[in-house]
């Protein structure tokens, strides 16, 4: 019925494959979307040669934010960290297969923002990470 | 006289539009901002077409006209809330600025470390953050009247808090989330008995109920034009004359002065003392037109219509499995229905409803602590005003069933 709620998004929201918390982990970061209170935490395990061995997200929020987090985890497993650092807004939109207005874009990009702040080892997640 | 909602709807050009082809707008977000009747739009348009000039200083025809229109609007607004005098109405940008004016001017002159300010747990951020900032700056103490599960304030606890002799009690007249209409008169009477000054956040009450500052005996009342069919960018602070006169100016600049020397100034009289710089003149004119419009329909008739719609909406929403409503029953609240739908985030609810042209709000509605209290990150909120119909409530309910189906 609705482009924004393509089956893939509903499916990843209802049955996420990568929801959880890795312990031990090599990288951990979490942040909120202050506009709506959505919350995402990511934990990563990495190999010595700098590849993402495993990844999980946890948190709460709308279907867009949670599905994009799940899709993002699926995408980065097995990828070199250097490649993860290059991911941007368009990659997320391609993953979701939808176009988003400015408000919902923040929902979709929250997980990428958190992920990039984590892999760059930053103290704070800023919007400029995902521009 | 009862409101003829079909006639009222004709006054609002925006209600004739569609959000996409063949999908009419169902506007259920008046608690965020109300739509504007033609009378307001035309008053502002006419001001710019015919009378635009800066006020108070010019002697030419346009300046005289603009000044008269700006000040006439003030008289209308004063009458609307039954203030004794128009000089008790200070134009501000909005409710938030009105509250900040009290926090910066009255509170900084009158409160010191250890003084107590009482707020409630259901406040909008605009009646929390200014006091938190003041707390950080000069060490005032804050206490909160608790909210019961059903959205009603715990007046007994308030009574106990009053034994600590607060200097100020600042509270919302009507919650923008729960819709609760608080017993303002009683709260003010109790506060006065304890020797406290009162500030009423009337952002939601003034647009929807008959608010009489003299009957309430309120010391300050803050409200915004845009929630009562007027333009954005203008609001008002009502204050008792002796309080306003005793307060230092808020912002410095032109119009707020009587006399300026290089190293000193003398402040102007009320209300100009608090209105530095060129104000929002066209917006004041629009504010006056909004007040005229609401008065012509009658606030009692508007409140009765909203009550009918709200009662119907709560009844219909309650029937939907998985819907949980927040706030008290219809007879204790204004036209607000905040709810959650099991298994679906409020943002998704709002987004899917939007496809059917239904505008509701999702989030914490600038009342994050209240949501935390109820253990939820966010709610969807439908709100009703003079132009909403039962048919629109039915469309909302149908829309929620569609959401359930999609996420089912």
Per residue in B285-302, pLDDT tens?
Answer: 999 999 999 999 999 999
A79 HSE (CA, 13 A, CB side): 16
Give the chain A residue nearest B365 (alpha carbons). Answer: A36
Rounded average pLDDT over B138-142 = 97
Distance CA B120, CA B367 (A): 11
pLDDT band at B26 (very low <50, low <70, confident <90, very high): very high
Task: Determine the angle formed by the axes of helices A102-119 and B346-355, rounding to 10 degrees.
Answer: 140
- Asked whether this complex has an ipTM greater than 0.95, the answer is no
Buried b (16+ CB within 10 A) or exposed e, B352-376: bbbbbbbbbbbbbbbbbebbeebeb
Residue A64 and residue A67: Cα distance in Å, rounded? 5
- What's the whole-number mean pLDDT along residues B208-226? 98
Question: Residue B166 CA to chain centroid, in angstroms?
Answer: 25
* pLDDT digit string, tens, across residues B352-369: 999 999 999 998 888 889
Cβ distance of B406 and A10 shorter than 8 Å = yes
Per-residue pLDDT, A1: 42
Q: What is the dihedral of CA A115, A118, A122, A126, to 10 degrees?
A: 20
Please give the pLDDT value at position B75.
98
Q: If pLDDT is split at 50, 70 and 90, which confidence band does B131 have?
A: very high
pLDDT digits (tens, 9 = 90+) for B94-130: 999 999 999 999 999 999 999 999 999 999 999 999 9
Contacting residues of B for A37, CB less than 8 Å apart: 363-364, 368, 371, 377-378
Say which of A2, A38, A61 has its CB closest to residue B406.
A2
pLDDT band at A131 (very low <50, low <70, confident <90, very high): confident
Instruction: Name the residue of chain B whose CA is nearest to A32's CA.
Output: B377
Q: Return the pLDDT at B363.
A: 87
CB contact under 8 A, B348 and A64: yes
The answer to whether B229 is a known catalytic residue is no
Q: Is the peptide bond before B271 cis (omega within 30 degrees of 0)?
A: yes
The pLDDT-based confidence of B205 (bands split at 50, 70, 90) is very high
Q: Which residues of B touch A5 (CB under 8 A)?
A: 348, 351-352, 406
* Closest Cβ–Cβ partner in B351, B377, B402 for A104: B351
Closest CB from B351, B362, B377 relative to A4: B351
Ordered by where they begin, the domains of chain A are 3-120 (3.90.1010.10)
Q: Which chain A residues touch B351 with a CB distance below 8 Å?
A: 4-5, 62, 104
Q: Residues A47-69: pLDDT tens digits?
A: 999 999 999 999 999 999 999 99
Q: Report which DSSP code applies to A98.
A: -
Residue A124, pLDDT above cutoff 90 = no
Three-state SS across B227-248? HHCCCCCCEEEEECHHHHHHCC
Q: Are strands B220-224 and B197-201 parallel, antiparallel or unpaired?
A: parallel
**Mean per-residue pLDDT, A96-107:** 84
How far off is chain B from A114, nearest CA to CA, in Å? 19
d(CA A115, CA A127): 12
How high does pLDDT run on average in chain B?
Answer: 96
The answer to whether A77 contacts chain B (CB < 8 Å) is no
A3-20 average pLDDT score? 89
Q: Residue A121 pLDDT > 70, yes or no?
A: yes
Domain ranges of chain B: 5-30+298-407, 41-296
Residue A2 has what pLDDT? 54
CATH class held by domain B5-30+298-407: alpha beta
What secondary structure, in 3-state letters, does chain B show?
CCCCHHHHHHCCHHHHCEEECCEECEECECCCCCCCCHHHHHHHHHHHHHHCCCCCCCCCHHHHHHHHHHHHHHHHHHHHCCCCCHHHEEEECCHHHHHHHHHHHHHHHHCCCCCEEEEECCCCHHHCHHHHHHHHHHCCEEEEECECCCCCECHHHHHHHHCCCCCEEEEECECCCCCEECCHHHHHHHHHHCCCEEEEECCCHHHHCCCCHHHHCCCEEEEECHHHCCCCCCEEEEECHHHHHHCCCCCCCCCCEEEECCCCEEECCCCHHHCCCCCCHHHHHHHHHHHHHHHHHCHHHHHHHHHHHHHHHHHHHHCCCCEEEECCCHHHECCEEEEEECCECHHHHHHHHHHCCEECEEECCCCHHHHHHCCCCCEEEEECCCCCCHHHHHHHHHHHHHHHHHHC
Instruction: Report A:89-118 residues touching B (Cβ under 8 A).
Output: 104, 107
Cβ-defined contact of A10 to B407 (cutoff 8 Å): yes
Q: Is the pLDDT of residue A4 over 80?
A: no
**B371 contacts in A (CB within 8 Å)?**
37
Q: What is the pLDDT of residue B365?
A: 87
Contacts of B242 (CB under 8 A, 6+ apart): none
In this model, does residue B209 exceed pLDDT 80? Answer: yes
Give the range among B29-33, B304-308, B343-347 with minimum mean pLDDT: B343-347
Percent of chain B with pLDDT over 70: 100
Asked whether residue B321 carries a pLDDT value surpassing 80, the answer given is yes
Residues of B in contact with A4 (CB under 8 A): 351-352
CA–CA separation, B210 and B56 (whole Å): 32
B274-287: average pLDDT? 97
Closest listed residue to residue B287, CA positions, set B95, B10, B115, B128: B95
Q: What is the mean pLDDT of residues A2-26?
A: 89
% residues pLDDT > 90 (chain B): 93
pLDDT of residue B368: 87
Q: Which pLDDT tens digit goes with each residue over A64-100?
A: 999 999 999 999 999 999 999 999 999 999 998 888 8
Predicted confidence band at B255 (pLDDT cuts at 50, 70, 90)? confident
The residue written with tokens 């259901």 in the block is B122
Pick the CATH number of B41-296 from 3.30.1700.10, 3.40.640.10, 3.20.20.70, 3.40.190.170: 3.40.640.10
Which 30-59 residues of chain A touch chain B by CB within 8 A? 35-39
Q: Which of B15, B366, B376, B397 is catalytic?
A: B366
Note whether A120 contacts B: Cβ–Cβ < 8 A: no
């Amino acid at each position: 019925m609705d482009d924004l709620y393509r089956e893939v998004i509903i499916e990843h929201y209802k049955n996420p494959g990568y929801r959880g918390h890795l312990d031990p982990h090599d990288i951990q970061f979490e942040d909120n979307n202050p506009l709506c209170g959505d919350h995402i935490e990511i934990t990563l395990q990495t190999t010595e040669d700098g590849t993402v061995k495993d990844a999980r997200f946890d948190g709460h929020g709308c279907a867009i934010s949670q599905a994009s987090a799940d899709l993002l985890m699926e995408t980065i497993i097995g990828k070199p960290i250097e490649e993860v650092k290059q991911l941007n807004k368009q990659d997320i939109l391609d993953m979701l297969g939808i176009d988003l207005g400015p408000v919902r874009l923040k929902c979709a990009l929250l997980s990428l923002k958190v992920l990039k702040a984590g892999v760059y080892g930053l103290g704070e997640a800023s919007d400029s990470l995902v521009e | 006289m009862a409101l003829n909602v079909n006639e009222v709807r004709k006054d609002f050009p925006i209600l004739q539009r569609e959000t996409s082809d063949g999908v009419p707008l169902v506007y259920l977000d008046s608690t965020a901002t109300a739509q504007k009747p033609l009378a307001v739009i035309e008053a502002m348009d006419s001001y710019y077409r015919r009378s635009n000039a800066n006020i108070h200083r010019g002697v030419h025809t346009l300046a005289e006209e603009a000044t008269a229109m700006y000040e006439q609007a003030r008289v209308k607004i004063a009458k609307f809330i039954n203030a004794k005098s128009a000089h008790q109405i200070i134009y501000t940008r909005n409710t938030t600025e009105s509250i900040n004016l009290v926090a910066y001017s009255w509170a900084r002159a009158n409160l010191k470390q250890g003084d107590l300010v009482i707020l409630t747990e259901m406040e909008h951020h605009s009646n929390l953050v200014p006091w938190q900032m003041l707390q950080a700056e000069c060490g005032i103490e804050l206490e909160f009247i608790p909210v019961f599960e059903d959205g009603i304030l715990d007046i007994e606890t308030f009574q106990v808090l009053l034994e600590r002799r607060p200097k100020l009690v600042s509270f919302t007249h009507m919650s923008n989330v729960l819709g609760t209409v608080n017993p303002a008169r009683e709260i003010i009477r109790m506060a006065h008995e304890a020797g406290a000054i009162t500030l009423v956040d009337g952002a939601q009450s003034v647009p929807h109920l008959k608010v009489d500052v003299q009957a309430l005996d309120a010391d300050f009342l803050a409200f915004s034009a845009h929630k009562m069919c007027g333009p954005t960018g203008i609001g008002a602070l009502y204050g008792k004359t002796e309080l306003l006169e005793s307060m230092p100016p808020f912002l410095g600049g032109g119009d707020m002065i009587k006399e300026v020397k290089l190293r000193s100034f003398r402040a102007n009289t009320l209300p100009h003392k608090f209105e530095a710089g060129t104000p929002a003149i066209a917006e004041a004119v629009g504010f006056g037109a909004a007040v005229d419009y609401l008065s012509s329909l009658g606030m009692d008739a508007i409140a009765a219509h909203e009550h009918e719609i709200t009662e119907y909406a709560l009844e219909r929403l309650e029937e939907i499995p998985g819907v949980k409503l927040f706030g008290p029953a219809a007879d204790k609240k204004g036209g607000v229905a905040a709810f959650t739908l099991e298994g679906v985030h409020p943002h998704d609810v709002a987004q899917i409803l939007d496809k059917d042209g239904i505008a509701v709000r999702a989030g914490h509605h600038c009342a994050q602590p209240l949501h935390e209290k109820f253990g939820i990150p966010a709610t969807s909120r439908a709100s009703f005003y003079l132009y909403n119909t039962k048919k629109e409530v039915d469309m909302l309910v149908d829309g929620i069933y569609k959401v359930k189906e999609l996420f089912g």
